[in-house]
Structure 1
Amino acid sequence: MSTYSIKDLEQLSGIKAHTLRIWEQRYSLLCPKRTDTNIRYYDDADLKLILNVALLNDNGFKISKIASMDAVEMKDEVMKLTERSLTHDDQIHALTICMIEMDEERFDKILSSNILKLGFEQTMLNIIYPFMSKIGVLWQTGAINPAQEHFISNLVRQKLIVAIDGQVVNGGGKKFLLFLPEGELHEISLLFAAYLIKSNGHKVIYLGQSTPNDDLLSVYKLHEPEYLLTIITTSPSAEYAQEYINGLSERFSNSTILVTGYQVIGQDLKFPANVVQLNYIRAIKDLLEEMERVPQEK
C-alpha cells in the first residue's frame, strides 16, 4: 500500500491542499492517519476517494451532495461520467483510479474508448502522456508504489508496441536511431517518439532500454542515421548529464542529436552545436512537422 502527503493528493487530484483540509473538517471526507512521529498521511483508499470527488465536483456535483453519497453510489456516478465524458482531466482521474486498484480491464476499456473517439496520437498526447508524467513525478519522490507504476507502464507499453507495428514506412524520409542510455529503463516516451516518427513516414532504428555505448556505436556505423534521439530520465544522473551529452556530440558529430528527459529539461546544461534539446514530447511532433515543410531527399 502506498502512502501520500496532502501535497501528493493535490498533485494527483488538482484540488488545492487548503480546500482538501476544509472538506476534511466540514464534511469528514478524509480521515488522515498519523505516523509514530505524528506526521499526517493518506492511503490508496483516500486517494481513490479524492479522485472520485474531484471528478464529480468538476462535473457539477456540489460537494455537500458528494459527501452524502455512499461508496456504491459514488462509484456508479463516476463510471457513468467516465464512459460519456471527453474531458481529458476526467479520463486522467479515471486512469489514476485504475492504477490504484490495478484494474487492467477497466484501464484497457478507458484507453480503447478514448482511442476510438480521439485517435491514438491525441489520446497519447492529451491523456496518457500527461497521466504518465504526473505519476512519474510521484514515482520519483516515492509517493507511488513501484508495482503500480510498473503495472500501468506495461499496459501503455503494450498499446504503443501494437500501434508502432501498425505503421508502415514505404521508404523515403530520414533515419532516426532511438535509444536510452545505459541504466535507463523508462521507455514510454521513447516508444511514443518511435510511433510519431514512423507515422510521419520516417525510418526508426529502435534500440530501446539501457543501450551500451559500444552497441550504439556499432549500430550507428551500420545505418548512419541523420538523427539520434535519447531520453534521460534517471540515468545518467544530473551531475553526469553534461558529460554524457558532450560524449554523444563528439562520437556522432555527423548527426543531429535530440535529447530530452527529467535530467535535461530545466537543467543548467550547455548543448553542443549538433545537439538539440526538446523541452516536451510535443516538440518531437513539432520537429517532424517542420521537416515535412522541407522537401525530402529522394
Structure 2
Amino acid sequence: MSVYSIKDLEHLSGIKAHTIRIWEQRYQLFSPERTPTNIRYYNDDDLKLILSIATLKNQGMKISKIVAMPRDLIQQEVHKISEGDKSEEDQISGLTLAMVDLDESVFSSILNETIELMGFEKAMMNVIYPFMKKIGILWMTNAINPAQEHFITHLVRQKLIAATDKANVNVEGPLYLLFLPEGELHELGLLFANYVLRSRGIRTVFFGQTVPLEALEEVYHKLHPQCIMTALTTAPESIEVQKYVDRLGNKFKDCTIYITGSRVVGQDISISQNMQILNQFEDLFELAPKAHLKA
C-alpha cells in the first residue's frame, strides 16, 4: 500500500492541506499514522476518501453533509456522478481512484468516455496530461508504487499509439526524428508530440526510449531530417544537462532541434541558434500546422 503526505493529498484532491487538517480535527475524517519524527502520513483509503469528498464538493455538496454520510453512501454518490456529466476535475479524480485500485476496467472506461466527449487531442490536454503530471510528481517523490505508475502509463500509451496509427501523413513532407536520451524512460510526452505531428500530416520517425547520440547520428545522416525533437525529464543527470545539450547542438547543426522536459524548461540552460525549448505543449501546436496531404 502506498503512503502519502498531507501535501500529496492536497496535490491530488485540490483541497488545501490546512483545510484537510481542520476537517481531520473537526470531523475525525482520518486517523493518520505518524513517522518517528511525528509527521503524519496517509494510506490509499485516506486518499480515496479525500478524492470522493472533493468530487462531491465540486457538485455543491457541503462538507458537513458529506461527513455525516456512511462511507458506502459517499461511494454511491460518487458513482452516480461518474455515470453523469463530469467536470474535468471529476474525471481526473476518477482516474486517480482507478489508479489507486489498479482497476483497469474503470480507468479505461473513464479514458474512453473522456476521449469520446472531448475528442482525443482535447482529452489529452485537459484531462490526461494534467493527471499524468500530478502522478509524475508523486512518482518522483516515491509517494506512489511504481506498479501504479506503470499501470496507467501502459494504458495511456496504448491509446496514444492507437490514435497515432490512424493518422495520414504527407510522405513527401518534412521529416521529424523523435527520441529520448540514454536513461530516459518517460516517453508519454514524446508519444503525444508524435501524435500531434502525425495528426497534422507531418512525417515522423519515433525512436522512443534511451537512444545513444551516436546511434541517432548514424540515422540522422541516412534520413536527413529537417527537425529533431527530444525530452529531458529524468535523464541525463542535472549536472550533465548543459553538456548534453551542447553535444546535441554540435552534432546536428543542419536541422532544427526542439527540446522540452523538466531538465531544461525553466532552467538556466544555454542553447545554440538551431535549438528551441518548448515550455509547454501549446508550443507544439504552433510549430506543427497541418501539412498538405497528398491524395
TM-score by length of 2: 0.96
Per the TM alignment, residue 237 of structure 1 is displaced from its structure 2 partner at its CA by 1.7
Contact residue 172 and residue 202 of structure 1 kept, 8 A: no
Aligned residues: 293
In the TM superposition, what whole-angstrom CA distance separates every residue of 1:7-32 from its partner, at most 9, and x where no partner exists?
A: 11111111001100111111111221
Q: Judge conservation of contact 1:2–1:43 (CA < 8 Å) in 2.
A: yes
**Residue 193 of structure 2: aligned partner:** 193
Partner of 1:71: 71
How far is the alpha carbon of 1:145 from its aligned partner? 1.4
Query: Using the alignment, how far apart are the partners of 2:22 and 2:85 within structure 1?
Result: 28
Secondary structure of the 2:210 match is coil
Match of 1:264 in 2: 264
Please tell me whether residue 15 in structure 1 is matched to residue 12 in structure 2.
Answer: no
Q: Distance in 1 between matches of 2:175 and 2:244?
A: 22
The separation in 1 between residues aligned to 2:185 and 2:218, in whole angstroms, is 21
Aligned to 1:177: 177
Structure 2 segments unaligned to the other structure (5+ residues): none
2:53 corresponds to which residue?
53
Q: Secondary structure at the match of 2:134?
A: helix
How many Å separate the matches in 2 of 1:2 and 1:51?
15
Mapping of residues 218-229 of structure 1, within 5 Å: 218-229=218-229
The residue that corresponds to 2:288 in the other structure is 288
Q: Deviations over 1:198-227 (max 9, x none)?
A: 001100111000012221111111111111
CA deviations over 1:55-104 (Å, ceiling 9, x no partner): 11111111011112222211121122123234111100110111100000
User: 2:193 is matched by which residue type in structure 1?
Assistant: A
Query: How far apart in 1 are the matches of 2:264 and 2:87?
Result: 31
Tell me the alpha carbon deviations over residues 28-55 of structure 1, each in whole angstroms, 9 at most, x when there is no partner: 1122111233221101111111011011
Contact 2:173 2:202 in 1 (8 A): yes
**Residues 13-162 of structure 1 correspond to what in structure 2 (within 5 A)?**
13-162=13-162
Q: Name segments (4+ residues, structure 1) moved above 6 Å.
A: none
How far, CA to CA, are the matches of 1:266 and 1:82 in structure 2?
Answer: 37
Residues in 2 aligned to 1:79 and 1:8: alpha-carbon distance in whole angstroms:
24
Query: In structure 2, how many angstroms separate the alpha carbons of the residues matched to 1:144 and 1:287?
Result: 35
Distance of 1:98 and 1:134 partners within structure 2: 14
1:275 maps to amino acid = M
RMSD of aligned residue pairs (Cα, Å): 1.4
| Deviation, structure 1 residue 278 | 0.4
- Counterpart of 1:251, as a letter, is K
Q: 1:260, 1:278 within 8 Å by CA — same for their partners in 2?
A: yes
**Structure 1 gap segments, 5+ residues each:** none
CA contact (8 A) 1:172 1:201 kept: no
The aligned counterpart of 1:164 is: 164
- Once the two structures are TM-superposed, the CA of residue 172 in structure 1 deviates from its matched residue by 3.9
Give the Cα separation in 1 of the matches to 2:214 and 2:270: 25
CA distance in 2, matches of 1:28, 1:16: 17
CA distance in structure 1 between the partners assigned to 2:22 and 2:208 by the alignment: 47
**SS of residue in 1 equivalent to 2:161:** helix
Alignment-mate amino acid for residue 262 of structure 2: Y
Work out the CA distance in 1 between the residues paired with 2:89 and 2:227. 34
Contact 2:170–2:203 (CA<8 Å) still a contact in 1? no
How does 1:221-260 map onto structure 2 within 5 Å?
A: 221-260=221-260
Higher mean C-alpha deviation, range 137-146 or range 9-18: 137-146
> What amino acid is aligned across from residue 45 of structure 2 in structure 1?
A
Q: Give identity over the alignment, percent.
A: 51
Residue 42 of structure 2 aligns to a residue whose secondary structure is strand
Give the structure-1-normalised TM-score. Answer: 0.95
Q: Which moved more, 1:114-123 or 1:34-43?
A: 34-43
